[in-house]
Chain A
Amino acid sequence: DTGVSQDPRHKITKRGQNVTFRCDPISEHNRLYWYRQTLGQGPEFLTYFQNEAQLEKSRLLSDRFSAERPKGSFSTLEIQRTEQGDSAMYLCASAAQVLDTGELFFGEGSRLTVL
């Protein structure tokens, strides 16, 4: 297992289009997180899954954003009707539940540019 992988790494889209990002966590990790990061800021929490259950969503997350983790393995994050303010790096992270060392393993991120 080589770590958390995200796809695509870069996405350029026009305002109003829909985009979907995929995250494959480390295989034995049952916790999965999505964060968003803009230049000069820290990662901002979007949503959290434990296995296939979505347990937390940020109150800042508009209804244009939806995330799934259908079989408790990979996850997708969809943004509908994209806006220029959605331009950011979307980071996925995973963690093990059994041994909580406080560590999140991040993927390299999916960079979204909305024109």
Chain B
Amino acid sequence: GQSLEQPSEVTAVEGAIVQINCTYQTSGFYGLSWYQQHDGGAPTFLSYNALDGLEETGRFSSFLSRSDSYGYLLLQELQMKDSASYFCAVKGGSYIPTFGRGTSLIVHP
């Protein structure tokens, strides 16, 4: 089976940088994805790492270390609108992404 661990809540102030960690256990590995979900909304895709290293997309970056079964999402220049839940999802031995329980990010003024 597959399991993921991520912090339940992270708080930060506007303009700051925040890192949301994700560790996973899986048999077989295709990639690690990150999604954002605002209250009442649908999850929206942020990034995907299939290989080790850092992927940058604007203010958001995602990192993967396959040897450590670990990844993180880095959010820079935080804005109030970044307050949301963030989920990591691992694609293991099939094409079925398994999601973590999510991290609630609260951005304060």
Residues of chain A having any CB pair with chain B under 8 Å? 31, 33, 35, 40-45, 48, 50, 56, 91, 100-109
The answer to whether B94 and A56 touch across the interface, beta carbons within 8 angstroms, is yes
Which interface class (under 10, 10 to 19, 20 to 34, 35 or more) fits B? 20 to 34
Residue in A closest to B91 when the chains form the complex, CB atoms: A102
Pair A104/B98 contact, Cβ less than 8 Å: no
Residues of A within 8 A of B101 (CB): 40-42
Which among B91, B94, B99, B100 has the highest number of chain A CB atoms within 10 Å?
B99
B45-A105 in contact (CB<8A): yes
B45:A104 contact, CB within 8 angstroms: yes
Give the residue name and chain of the B residue nearest to A43 (CB). B99
The interface residues of chain A lying within 8 Å CB-to-CB of B98 are 45
B50 within 8 A of A: yes
Q: Are A48 and B45 in contact (CB under 8 A)?
A: no
Is B109 part of the contact surface with A, judged by Cβ < 8 Å?
Answer: no
Which residues does chain A contribute within 8 Å of B95, judged by CB atoms? Answer: 31, 48, 50, 100
Given that A43-B87, A48-B96, A103-B48 are known contacts, is A108 also in contact with B42, CB under 8 Å in the complex? Answer: yes
The distance in angstroms between the C-alpha atoms of A45 and B50, with both chains bound, is 21
